[in-house]
Chain A
Amino acid sequence: MMEKSRRSFLKVAGIAAIGLGASPAINFASSDSRGTAHAVKSKNKEALHARRWGMVIDTGKITDEIAKSVSKACHKAHNVPDFNIKVDEKKYPHTRPVNHKQEVKWIWEEHFDNAFPDKEDEFLAEKFHGLPFLVTCNHCKHAPCVRACPTQATFKREDGIVMMDYHRCIGCRFCMAACPFGSRSFNFRDPRPFIKKISPNYPTRTKGVVEKCDFCAERLAKGKLPHCVGASKGAIVVGDLEDPKSEIRGLLNEHYTIRRKQSLGTEPSVYYIM
């Protein structure tokens, strides 16, 4: 008995020693996929960094047309389903009719009263009435969705971006109740039949998980600016809020800006030039 347990101890210890010896090699091999110390060092040199990413939307420059192309560019690149398209019956037979109230959207147009319900004003300057206001995730500094998520599937990165892990999300939708901006969507059904052309640069989602704007973190990592910036014809600027010399801080210095529902203390990172 004694002999046997000693032998098995040695066996385990031996395996453990091999494991220890091999671990640097394993870490090296996996450095581009896992968040190990090596991975940090081998980050893409072109990647864009910020201490806290923020966005400024110049409302005066946003026309209906621009707003639509911004949404379209974002939704297309991120494989956001469009419930208005005709489903390919051959590929997805027996697709049930859609409920448009269960739609998914990342960035879209709202009227002033809906984007800023606490600033509702019966004598609001007329020019604001018809204007489209683009709304999206605010990547709040004190994000209530991050606080509410029971699995950390919604989490905050060091650079301020509020991210989603679609593979960890259990679909409890606590984050949707927590978000004061209605920025989150739930996949009530499999979104794939409603994606016209799947973009290979971003994962499609499965049914039962929540999703939202991720500030194009996947593009920043490759040194590219978010899709909405490109499609906005200069109306949307992103940059480092913590850097006093950044373009975005310059804009905030020059213009009067507002944020959505500031009184709630979530500290949105999306500013609107009025």
Chain B
Amino acid sequence: MLEIAIKGSKNYWLWIVFLLAVMGAGAVVYLDQFTNGLMITGMSRDVSWGFYIANFTFLVGVAAGGVMVVIPYYLHDYEKFHRITILGEFLAVASLIMCLLFIIVDLGQPTRALNVLLYPTPHSMLFYDMIVLNGYLFLNIVVGWKVLEAERNQVEPAWWTKPLVYLSIPFAIGIHTVTAYLYCGLPGRGFWLTAILAPRFLASAFAAGPAFLIILCYIIRKFTKFDPGWEAMQTLSKIVCYAIITNLFFFLCEIFVSYYSNIPAHKAHVQYLLFGYHGYTALVPWMWTSLTLMTTGAILLLIPKLRNNHTLLPITCAMIVFGAWIDKGLGMISGGFVPSPLHHVTEYSPTGPEVMIALGVYATGFFVLTILYKLATQVKEEVRG
């Protein structure tokens, strides 16, 4: 099936070359980081996780979001999702590859990464994160590939793909729950120390993941002969609508508890993000942009006439993806570290090299995504033709 990927239009190859170039640039900068250490990043003693871990967290969400097409199709026999289920699964694969790469580039000693397997440590949440992330990646590759292959050969998929699909559902919830547990089980980090962190992560995941999928559907419609189906996209947009409202609601709950309880250890971080803390305001404009984007996105999806507008929908979805990315990518991680446990304020912003490495990881993810989507759309065109 992979041979499909080496036959493509000029645009396809241009895009592939572009991605390879960004990957190459990222790799060159990474070599510098590999040789000289994480000193090239904006991270510090006080803000010891930054852009890499933030993007990792966001992409775990995008990966988990894939389950929002799997559940309706496989559990409720929602036929409209038949054509896009594979897109959700392959999006999860690409996102998970990016997640794992972000973890690797964040390590101070990447060559020792396998120590996590050599000395398995069940009391560390990272141990479980490794299991669920790799498990979910494996499930999606196997299921996605096998089902697509069966479609190409016009036979029923092997019987054993079904139990794997059912297994992938708790895994999807699992990846984002365990990722939240990385943060919310730490004493002394008041911003993350909240039982609603995992639900909030899931809500934003189920908004950002499907919203991104809708955008991808538009791109597929433009560049291939395969039509994912307008009705499927509309259903997806309703899912995004519910999820983004839930996400905003959870955030409101968080704000209420922080401010009404007035406990400094919890309030200080929210204060820093929304209004600034002791004159430090680097993230304030970002956070308000994020809230505005997510709220506007929710309103635009709530009103049927606007939701069903062909031209508006991709813009709404882009607003939600970007809003969720700021919320999780910039605010969630930095916000937890500022102020520090000793109530010092050390602000963080990624450096140029750090952003370049992150772009390299994204390019790798999009490279994988492009090839997988090329396979999926081509096979579906073939079958139809």
Contact = CB atoms under 8 A, between A and B. Distances in A.
Contact of B108 (A179, A187, A264): A187
Contacts of A206: 109
A152 interface: yes
Interface stretch (B2-10, B113-121, B197-205, B304-312): B113-121
B187 A103 contact: no
Contact of B343 (A114, A171, A176): A114
Contact of B48 (A99, A103, A173): A173
A219 interface: no
Contact of B36 (A96, A103, A173, A185): A96
Given A170-B112, A174-B124, A208 B37 contact: yes
Interface string B334-368: 00110011111010000000000000000000000
Given A171-B109, A172-B106, A99 B39 contact: yes
B45 A174 contact: no
Given A113-B343, A171-B108, A173-B48, A153 B37 contact: no
Contacts of B265: 117-118
B46 interface: yes
B285 interface: no
A261 B119 CA distance: 31
Interface in B163-193: 182-183, 186-189
B126 A209 contact: no
Contacts of B124: 147-150, 174
Nearest to A113: B343
Contacts of A159: none
B107 interface: yes
Contact of A114 (B107, B123, B182, B344): B344
A31 interface: no
Interface residues of B, number: 46
B224 interface: no
Contacts of B371: none
B99 to A, nearest CB: 14
B341 A182 contact: yes
Given A209-B108, A209-B109, A144 B187 contact: yes
A10 B50 CA distance: 57
Given A117-B343, A181-B188, A266-B187, A168 B112 contact: yes
Nearest to B35: A207
Contacts of A114: 342-344
B107 A170 contact: yes
B43 interface: yes
Contacts of A152: 119, 121
B188 A264 contact: yes
A70 interface: no
Contacts of B337: 177
B28 interface: no
Nearest to A145: B186
**Interface SS of A by simple majority:** loop
A88 interface: no
A161 to B, nearest CB: 18
Contacts of A110: 342
B16 interface: no
B48 A176 contact: yes
Given A101-B346, A147-B124, A149-B124, A181 B39 contact: no
A153 B118 CA distance: 12
Given A114-B342, A147-B123, A103 B45 contact: yes
A230 interface: no
A102 B44 contact: yes
- Name the residue in A101, A153, A187 with the highest tally of chain B Cβ atoms < 10 Å from its Cβ: A101
B275 interface: no
- Name the residue in A105, A185, A208, A266 with the highest tally of chain B Cβ atoms < 10 Å from its Cβ: A208
A169 interface: yes
A102 B130 CA distance: 28
A102 B115 CA distance: 25
B49 interface: yes
Contact of B186 (A101, A115, A148, A151): A148
A170 B116 contact: yes
B38 interface: yes
A174 B182 contact: yes
A102 B186 contact: no
A169 B45 contact: no
A172 B126 contact: yes
Contacts of B108: 169-173, 186-187, 207-210
Interface in A157-202: 168-174, 176-182, 185-190
Given A101-B44, A264-B188, A180 B341 contact: yes
A64 interface: no
A96 B126 CA distance: 33
B38 to A, nearest CB: 5
B125 interface: yes
A130 interface: no
A177 B264 CA distance: 19
Contacts of A209: 108-109
B107 A171 contact: yes
Contacts of A113: 343
B127 interface: yes
Given A150-B121, A170-B112, A189-B36, 9 more contacts: A102-B39, A115-B342, A117-B343, A151-B112, A170-B109, A180-B188, A189-B39, A207-B36, A208-B109
Interface of A: 96, 99, 101-105, 110, 113-115, 117-118, 120, 135, 144, 147-153, 168-174, 176-182, 185-190, 206-210, 261, 264-266
25 contacts: A102-B45, A103-B45, A114-B342, A118-B265, A120-B264, A150-B130, A151-B121, A168-B115, A169-B108, A170-B110, A170-B112, A170-B113, A170-B116, A171-B109, A172-B103, A173-B106, A173-B108, A177-B189, A177-B336, A178-B187, A181-B188, A186-B38, A188-B37, A189-B38, A261-B188
